[in-house]
Structures are given as structure tokens and as C-alpha cells.
Amino acid sequence: MNRTDPALASLPRRAAAIFYDLLLFAGLVMALTLVLVLLRGGEAIPPASWWYDILLLAANFLFFGVSWTRGGQTLGARAWRLRVTATNGNDLSWRQAALRYLSAWLLLLPPGLGFIWAWWDPDGLCWHDRLSGSRVIRMT
């Protein structure tokens, strides 16, 4: 990174944006589930339904993917004045969005290590930033 590059977002700001997005996604899950229950004639979705889990993962990817490829901001990122960009400053491609999304799940393996790695990374990047060729910047 050189001096003309925008400032990378701090981990606390990134965590706050993630928390906002989780709240928003929880609302989306409730709305999606309501529609499914209504389509099933009021019958509940059975526990451990593989198709429901896949549907939620697809909805989660679309929630983030659309935001990252069209302006680089989820609603949580917008509230905290953050933006996800490719390393060259452009919006992410769908390929980069998919890589970012899938590699973000690595953060769950050693809980939080891939996220807090940014404290030791010379460029301040998390694992999923590095793997997808993206970064989160603070907007002024």
C-alpha cells in the first residue's frame, strides 16, 4: 500500500458492520422462512432439512455478493462508512465475491484467527481479504 491508497478499515469497525449485517440477515431469514411456511400451507419446515440449509446459504451469499459487486457496501458497511473493493480499487467481480464469501467461512475454523490475523498481517488484511484479492477500506 502506498500513501495515496485509502485507509484500511479497523477490525472494530469491521466487526460492528458484520454485527449490523447479521441483524439484517436475521430479518431476511425470518421473512424467507415465513414465505416458505405459507407456501407449505402453514406446515413447519422439518428440522435438518438439507434444502432449507442450502437455501439459507444461497440467500446469505446473494445478500453479500450483490452488495460487494454493486458498490462494495452492505447496509452494515454503509452505516460504518466501509467499502469492500478489489485490491485495484474496483468493485469485486462475482468470482472474487464467491472467493471472499467461501474463504470467510475459514474464520470459523480456529475461531476468529482469520479475522484477527489482520493485526499481524503487513498490509492489515484478514485471510479472506488475501484469498479473494479484496480489502475493506474506510470511506471519508
The residue written with cell numbers 479484496 in the block is 134
pLDDT computed for residue 107 by the predictor: 75
Query: Tens of pLDDT along 87-118?
Result: 999 999 999 999 999 998 887 777 788 888 88
DSSP 40: T
- First-to-last alpha carbon distance for the chain, in angstroms, is 18
pLDDT computed for residue 140 by the predictor: 77
**DSSP H helices in 70-109:** 75-79, 94-104
Q: Per-residue pLDDT for 135 more than 70?
A: yes
Q: What percent of the chain has pLDDT over 90?
A: 75
pLDDT computed for residue 105 by the predictor: 87
Please tell me the distance from the alpha carbon of residue 47 to that of residue 30, in angstroms, as a whole number: 15
4 falls in which pLDDT band (50, 70, 90)? low
